[in-house]
Amino acid sequence: MQKYAINIAFFVGCLLIVLAAQFGMVDLYVQSVIMFMGINIILSSSLNIVNGYMGEFSCGHAAFMCVGAYVSSVVTVVLFAQNKIFGAPILPPDMAVLFMPLAILIGGLVSAVVGILVAVPSFKTRGDYLAIITIAVNYMVISGIENLEIIGGSRGFMGMKQVVYAMSDVVNIPWMMIWTILGTVFTIWIIRRFVSSTYGKGISAICQDEIAAEIMSVNTNKMKLVAFMLSSGLAGIAGGLFAHVIGYVNPQSFNILKSTECLVMVYLGGMGSLSGSVLSAVLFTLLLEALRPLQIVKWVIIPLILVLLMQFRPEGILGNKELGDVFPRLKRYCRFK
Amino acid sequence: MEALFQNIINALQWGSFYALIALGYTLVYGVLLLINFAHGDIFMVGAYIAFGVSVFVLGTQGLGLPNWAILACGVPLTMILTAGVGVTLERIAYRPLRRKGAHRLYVVITALMCGLILENGNLALLGASRKKFPELMEKAVWTFGNVSVTNLKVIVIVAAFATFAFLNFIVTRTRIGMAMRAVSYDKFAIPLMGIPVDSVIVFTFVLGSGFAGLAGMLFAMSYPILEPYMGALIGWKAFIAAVVGGIGDIRGAFVGGFLLGFIEILVVAFFPSTFRDLIAFSILLLILWIKPTGLFGVARHQKI
């Protein structure tokens, strides 16, 4: 029982949050902050696969988020909501409850396929040249979606709120909160499994030395493909959740600044540390909200904090370690595989 | 046909800005192997410094000099002050990290953050209202057939070519240029040869930021509206141009900048303008796909 103490505490905590949201104990603002925390955790830990474990420098993570957000919201809106262009809902809106996670997963799958766009050039290019390819992909995705008039172009796309309301009509519980928590747990679980598997070992071998890894019979191309696709797919899930939480997506909200935010969260937590990225995503979201009254000065203070952090603790909060390595006693209370 | 010539001239001007900024990226990258993501924002700061110098120091609200004198003193003053900003960044943010031997990516993140600080610090200090750059030159339009050229366009293009020639001369023909190439070749053996690495790096930042200041001034004269985010997009694009040319190579940055300028202007000429980024970046991606080290780049051999 002692071994599962933290797991149970986490589960009870999530349950309490959902219950509190259900009975109106926390207001909508706090709820949205908690949901953004989950989305940011998914973003930072999925980017950590490529930037941390594999040692590449991908700075276009928001592109995959954008693809996931658009695909999943188009799917849900076409299926369950009244829309000017797509017409009446195809399926009865009551079924949104069942298809919602499926739509978000479809968004993730499509953005994993878009991830191939970055993964294939990465077979030959490394380092800074790959960084450019990711930036270029980010611009291309945004520009491409801006030119698709059918999904709103640069005006953005909306209608997801109807789907969320349709779900609340069936059973009135905070659905998006539940899906966000489930998505976050799913992401952390899958990354944890992935990193400790043979694939994960292969990816850290590529990080150490690509040529040596190839000589040791690591199929580097396959590893890169899998890592990029997993990373972008999870970012797509984050995007799908983001779109349904906000209820409105706009191509410009996934621009290079969003990618920079993802990068910041990864490096704040430490490269190659899953618990580090979770911790830094939570801290970063809280910091953003705490500094909100300062308005624009916020964006001077946050970079300044990061510059100072880089000066005095360049490896990030946890460095290359997990939380369990820093505090070995925690391992007694946590079983997590 | 005349439309084509007109577009080529516009593309030359637009490419000149990319080339001037890309040269700064490539100089710093060539010496330090550091992507100085703050460079686009140094360009923005350069434009604001040019504004401050030509309005509040030399111009109507300062000494009140005539326009030709503002231009003559303003250009060097802007370049010097912008170079000061670049060197300050190097001194405060990058050098301590380099001394500690931090991972290269942490320096890149620091550079990104410095860019954000410059952008938003500017926004917080000067407010979001756009600034109107004063007209420093009588506009002269020369027309050949239906192709019209303004004197400003000619100056911008000539400045880009002159900068390229000057930097190429410095890097390939002078002692300090040789030192720069040496530092980029082997950072550990060079101090043993008695070359002061730090002053070479400072000199590199002076050159790169100085010409970013020049680009800022010329940009402000050509498109006389200043806003704090003007450097971000153009900086990222110039960086991509530098990489497509082969980062670390002066010729590469120059050619890449003009290439991007041409692609963008020609795309806008023949397609709806919203397709500009999509097509431009697709072409650049294709180039990188075929030639992963850029047009002029040489692959570094990896040893085990």
Return the SS3 of B191.
helix
**Interface membership of B129 toward A (CB under 8 Å):** no
Q: CB distance from B239 to chain A under 8 Å?
A: yes
Q: Confirm if B242 and B284 have CB atoms less than 8 A apart.
A: no
- Please identify every stretch of chain A with a pLDDT value under 50, giving residue numbers as ranges: none
Q: Given this model, what pLDDT does residue B301 score?
A: 62
Range of the domain at B41: 2-129+141-290
Domain at A25, CATH number: 1.10.3470
CB contact under 8 A, A307 and B281: no
3-state secondary structure of B290: helix
Torsion, Cα A137 A138 A144 A145, to 10 degrees, reads: 140
CA separation for the pair B185, A82 (Å, rounded): 63
Number of domains in chain B: 1
Q: Are A65 and A138 in contact (CB under 8 A)?
A: no
Kindly report the number of other CB atoms within 10 A of residue A198's CB atom.
10
Residue that wins the pLDDT comparison between B299 and B174: B174
From the number of C-beta atoms within 10 Å of its C-beta (0-12, 13-18, 19+), residue A188 rates as buried
Contact yes or no for A314 and B236 at CB 8 A: no
Cβ separation B292–A303 shorter than 8 A: no
**Does any domain span residue B301?**
no
**Which of chain B's residues have a Cβ under 8 Å away from the Cβ of A129?**
243, 247, 288, 292-294
Residue-averaged pLDDT of chain B: 86
Choose the closest CB to A307 out of B93, B274, B304. B93
Q: B187 or B163, which is more confident? A: B163
Average pLDDT of B16-22? Answer: 92
pLDDT score, position B128? 77
Distance CA A119, CA A54 (A): 12
Query: What pLDDT, in 10s, does the model give residues A193-207?
Result: 998 899 999 999 998
Q: Give B52-65 pLDDT, tens digit per residue.
A: 888 888 777 777 77
Note whether residue B268 is domain-resident: yes
Q: Does B295 map to a domain? A: no
Per-residue model confidence (pLDDT) at position A269 = 86
Please judge whether B278 and A296 are an interchain contact, meaning their C-beta atoms are less than 8 angstroms apart.
no
Give A311: exposed, middle or buried? Use CB within 10 Å, 0-12, 13-18, 19+. Answer: middle
B296 belongs to a structural domain: no
Residue B156 parent element (H or E): helix B151-173
In this predicted structure, the answer to whether residue B226 has a pLDDT above a threshold of 80 is yes
Residue B13 has, within 13 A of its CA and on its CB side, a CA count of: 18
Q: What's the mean pLDDT in B153-173?
A: 92
B135 located within any domain? no
Distance of CA A323 to the CA centre of its chain: 20
**Host H or E run for residue B181:** helix B175-185
Looking at beta carbons, which residues of chain A come within 8 Å of B293? 129
Angstrom CA distances, B2 to A297, B143, B264, stand at 49, 11, 18
What angle separates helix A175-195 from helix A96-119, to the nearest 10 degrees?
40
Backbone angles phi, psi at B77, to 5 degrees: -65, -45
| B205 DSSP assignment | H
pLDDT of residue A131: 83
Contacts 24+ apart (CB under 8 A), B134-141: B134/B54, B134/B55, B134/B59, B134/B60, B134/B224, B135/B224, B136/B54, B136/B67, B136/B70, B136/B71, B136/B74, B136/B221, B137/B67, B137/B71, B137/B221
Tell whether B52 is covered by a domain: yes
pLDDT at A133: 85
Whether B299 has a pLDDT exceeding 70, the answer reads no
Select the highest-mean-pLDDT range: A79-88, B260-269, B289-298: B260-269
The whole-number pLDDT of residue A234 equals 94
Please tell me the predicted confidence (pLDDT) of residue A296.
79
Residue A44 is predicted with a pLDDT of 93
Residue B179 belongs to a domain: yes
At A38 the pLDDT is 93
Whether residue B303 lies inside any domain: the answer is no
Structure-token pair, residue B57: 């120091």
A303, B116: Cβ pair inside 8 Å? yes
Strand positions, DSSP E, B3-144: 131-132, 141-144
Interface contact flag, A303 B120, Cβ < 8 Å:
yes
Could you give the CA distance from residue A131 to residue B151 in angstroms, rounded to a whole number? 38
pLDDT of residue B18: 92
Q: What is residue B302's DSSP assignment?
A: P
Query: Which of A61, A260, A307 has the most B C-beta neighbours within 10 Å, making it the best mutation to test the interface with B?
Result: A307
Question: Which range of residues forms the domain containing residue A6?
Answer: 2-333
Which residues are CB-neighbours of B129 under 8 A, at least 6 positions away? none
Answer for the pair B297, B248: CB distance below 8 angstroms, yes or no. yes
Q: What is the pLDDT of residue A305?
A: 86
Q: What is the CA radius of gyration of chain A?
A: 20
Predicted local distance difference test score (pLDDT) of residue B303 = 54
Number of domains within chain A: 1
The per-residue pLDDT for range B60-97, each reduced to its tens digit, is 777 777 878 888 888 899 999 999 999 999 998 888 88
pLDDT of residue B300: 63
Q: Do B274 and A154 touch (CB under 8 A)?
A: yes
Count how many Cα atoms sit within 13 Å of the Cα of residue A188 in the half-sphere of its side chain.
Answer: 19
Residues 6+ apart with CB under 8 A from A6: A330, A333, A334
Residue B59 belongs to domain with CATH number: 1.10.3470
Q: What does the pLDDT average to over B181-206? A: 88
CA distance B74 to chain A (A): 29
- Give the tokens for residue B277: 């980024």
Taking chain A, what is the end-to-end CA distance rounded to the nearest angstrom? 16
